[in-house]
Structure 1
Amino acid sequence: MILEIIFWLLIVLSVYIYAGYPILLKLISGVVKKDRMTETGYEPKVTLFIAAYNEEKVIAEKVQNSVELDYPQDKLEIIVVSDDSSDRTNDIVNEFVAKYPNVKLNVVKGRKGKTAALNKSVPLATGEVLVFSDANSLYQKDAVHHLVKHFKDEEIGGVCGELRLTNPTNSSIGESEGAYWKYEKLLKMLETATGTTIVANGSIYALRKELFKEMNPNVGDDMQNPLIIISQQKRFVYEPNAITMEETSPKSSEEFGRKVRIVTRSFTGIMSYKNVLNPFKNFDFFYKYMSHKFLRWLVPYYMIAIFIINLFLLDQPLYQVMFGLQLLFYILALLGKVTSNKITYIPYYFCLVNYAALLGTLRAISGKRQATWTPTSR
C-alpha cells in the first residue's frame, strides 16, 4: 500500500511539473494580473555585452548585427567580452573597434568562464541598461527597443527577450529543442502575467545597471541575474517582441553536454541563493522556482523510483499495464536516437534532458564546478 501511494504521488508530481504548473498559472492569471507601463520612445543609454570564447566563425556577423540595430548609435555601447580567446576572435573584433567608435573589446585574461568575464566587464559599462548576449545570437533590429521600453516602469528590474531557434540541418534534436523553447515561452508569458518570471535566456536579456551585483563565477549569469533582481523587490519580465535568432545544436551529444553544464551551474546557483527560496518572504517566487526549475531537475529521480517501485507491484494487472507503458516509452526514446519523427524524438529528448539533469545535479551536489564553456560546432 505504501509503495502504491509513493508510486502515484511521483506520477502526479511529474504530471504537475509539466502540465499542472502552466494550468495553475493560467488560472491564477485570471485572478491576479500584473500590468506593465511601457514607453516605446524610451531610449536610455544601453551597454550591450557580447560574451565570446573562440568565436571566430560567427563573431564578425554578430558585431555587424549589433552595430546595425535600430537604436541610436550614440546611446548604444557594444562591449565584446572575450574570455581570453585563443583564435582570431580578438583580431576580428579589433577591426570593428577601429571602424565604429561605440564598439569596444575587453579581453579577460586567464580564462575563467563567461560569468567571471562579465563580472570584470560590467564596471566598464557606461549605459543605464545592460543587455547581455551571446556571439551566435542574432538580434532583430528592434530587439533593444523592445527590451528597454519596460524600464520606464520603476517596478521592472530586468527583461528577458525571446529566443527563436532555426534548425538548418533538420536534426531531430533540433526539432525537440524547438518544442522545448515553445513550452518555456508559454511558462515565461504566464509567469510574467502573474508577477515575475524567474528565468532568463543568456542570449537576450537586460537589467538596470544600478541593480547589478557581482555574480558567483561557477553559476550561469542568466540563472543568477533574475534572482538578484527579484531579491531586490523588482520584477523580472518577459518580452516576446524582443527577438533573437540562434541555430540549434546539430548533434545530440553537444546538446546533452550543454544541458549537463547548465544544470550543474544552475543547481549550484540555487544552493548559493537558497535564501531567496523563503516562502514566507516571497511565496510567488518560491512556488514558481520550485515548479519551473527545482522540481523539474529532480524528475530523473522520480522516473527511476517509479520504474523500480513498479517492479514490486507486477502481481497486479494495473501495474503490469503501467510497466508496459514505461517500457514502450523508453523503447521509443531509444529509437529516437536513430530515427526522426515526433513519436520517437520527443521521448528521446525527454530522456536526454532528464539524464542531463541527473548528471548535473549529482555533479553539483558532489561539489564539481563548470565555469567555462566551449562553442558548439556550426
Structure 2
Amino acid sequence: MTYLFIFYLFLFLIFYVYIGYFILILVLGFFYNRKVKKEKNYPNICFMIAAYNEEKTIEEKLKNTLCLDYPKDKLKIVVVSDASSDQTDLIVKKYFSDNVQLIRIEGRVGKTQARNEAVKMVDEEIIVFSDATTIYHKNALTYLVQNFSDPEVGMVTGHLIYTEDANSSMSVGQSAFWQYESLIKKAQTKLGTLTGSVGCITAFRRKLYTELPAHIIEDFTGPLCIIQKGYRVVYEDKALCFEKPTKRSRNEFSMRVRVIRGGMTGLFFAREVLNPLQYPMVSFQLISHKILRWLSPLIFAFVFIFSNFLYLIQVESLLVSLCVWLEYTFLFLVFLGFLCEKKSIKINGISFFYYFFVLNLAASKAMIDQLYKTLPANWETDR
C-alpha cells in the first residue's frame, strides 16, 4: 500500500502541474479580478531591438517598427548590436534618417549585458524590449502603454503568436504551448501579477530597470525584480506580435535548456520572492508553475517506475493499469513524432506529443547542466 500511495502522490503532482494549477487560477481569477486602469496615452518610448548577426531579419523588423501606429515624435528606435560581425550594423545605418539609432556593444557580451549598457544611454520614460525576428501588429505599442496609466503597473508584456510553418513538426506543439501559457498569463494578471514576461514584447518603466548579471535571462528575472520594487507585471492580450516557430527539435531543445537554466539562475538571484509571508501569491505561482514544472521530468520518471513496478507485482488498481497503458502509448507516439520530423511529415496530434517530450527532455538536461556547468552569457542564433 505504501508504493501505491507514493504512485498516487506523484500522479497527483503531474495532474496539478499541467492541469490542476491551470484550473485553480482560472477559478481564483473568476472570483478575484484585480483590474488594471487603462487610458489611452502616448508616453515617450525607446523601442529597443536586440540583435546579433541579424542581417536576414533586421531590415524587415525596422520597416515593421517604423509603420507602427504610434506618434513618431514620441518613438525612438534603437538597435542594440552585440558585436555583430555580419551586415546588421550597415543595414541599420541606412535608416538613421528615420529616427533609428544604433548602439554597438563591443566584445560579444550577450543580450542581457548589451541591454544593461544600452538602457544607461537612453532617457525615455518607457522602454520596450523586442527581438529582430518579431513582427508587431500596428497597434501593439498603443495597447501596451495604455496599461501604464495605472501607477501600480511597472511592466507590461504582450501576446506572442507563432505563425505556423507547414513544413515544421515543431510548429503545432509550439503554438499549442503558447496558447496554454497565454491563458495562464491572463489568469495571473487577474490575481495581481505575472511571474514572467514574453521577452520579444515587453514594456517597462525605465526607472524600475534592474541591471542583471550577464548570464541571467531578463525575460524571467526582470519581472521578479519589478515585483520586488512593489509594482505589478501585467499581460495585455491585445498587444500582438508574431514569430516563426522553431523548425527543428534540436534547436527547440537547445533553446529550452537555455531558458530553463536562465530561469533557475534568475530565481536564485531574486529568491526573496519565494518568501510566502511577503509574497504569498507570487511564491505560490512560482512553485506551482515554475519549480514543479522544472521538476516534472523527475516526477514523470517516478510515476513510470512505480506504475510499472505495481503492475508487475499485480497490484489490483485500474488506475495503475491505465497509467501503464498510457505511458507506452505516449512513448510510441513520441517515436512516431521523431520519425515524422526526420521525414518532414507533420501530423498535428503526434507532433504535439513529440513537442511535449522535447520540453521535458530539455528540463532534464537543464537540471543536470545547472549542477555541473556555468551558464554562458551569449549563444549563437540558429538562423
Q: Place the TM-score, normalised by the shorter chain, in its bin.
A: over 0.9
The number of residues matched between the two structures is: 374
What is residue 141 of structure 2 aligned with on the other side?
A: 144
The match for 1:61 is: 60
> Is 2:37 the counterpart of 1:37?
yes
- Aligned pairs for 1:285-296 within 5 A: 285-296=282-293
Partner of 2:19: 19
Deviation at 1:272, TM superposition (A): 1.6
Gaps of 5+ in 2: 341-345
Q: Which residue in the other structure is 1:127 paired with?
A: 124
1:254-311 deviation digits (Å, cap 9, x = unpaired): 1111111111111111122111110110111011111121110110011111112223
Q: Is 1:355 paired with 2:364?
A: no
**Cα deviation, residue 321, structure 1:** 4.0
Secondary structure of 1:365's aligned partner: helix
- In structure 2, what is the Cα distance between the partners aligned to 1:152 and 1:367? 43
**Residues in 1 aligned to 2:273 and 2:381: alpha-carbon distance in whole angstroms:** 32
Residue in structure 2 matching 1:155, options 147, 152, 167: 152
Amino acid at match of 1:329: F
Q: Tell whether the 8 Å contact from 1:249 to 1:376 is kept in structure 2 after alignment.
A: no
Contact persistence 1:307–1:323 (CA under 8 A): yes
| Alignment partner of 1:175 is 2:176 | no
Partner of 1:322: 323
Q: Which runs of 5+ in 1 are unaligned?
A: none
Deviates more, 1:73-82 or 1:319-328: 319-328
When normalised by structure 2's length, the TM-score is: 0.95
User: 1:298 is paired with a residue of what secondary structure?
Assistant: helix
Q: In structure 2, what residue type is equivalent to 1:204?
A: I
Amino acid at match of 1:311: N
Q: Give the alignment partner of residue 303 of structure 2, picking from 302, 306, 311.
A: 306
Deviation at 1:320, TM superposition (A): 4.2
TM-superposition CA deviations, 1:135-192 (whole Å, max 9, x none): 0001111111111101111010100001011123341211110000000010000111
Q: TM-score w.r.t. structure 1 length?
A: 0.96
Please provide the CA RMSD for this pair. 1.3
1:196 maps to amino acid: T
Q: Please report how far the alpha carbon of residue 221 of structure 1 lies from its aligned counterpart in structure 2 after TM superposition.
A: 1.0
Map 1:1-378 onto structure 2 (within 5 A): 1-40=1-40, 42-97=41-96, 99-100=97-98, 102-313=99-310, 314-315=312-313, 316-318=315-317, 319-339=320-340, 340-377=346-383
For residue 221 of structure 2, what is the amino acid of its counterpart? Q
Paired residue type of 1:3? Y
Alpha-carbon offset, residue 335 of structure 1: 0.8
Deviations 1:99-157 (A, max 9, x none): 22x21111111112110110111011221001000000011111111111011110101
Cα distance in 2 between the residues matched to 1:342 and 1:103: 41
The 1-side partners of 2:188 and 2:27 are apart by 11
Q: Is the 8 A contact 1:265 1:364 kept in 2?
A: no
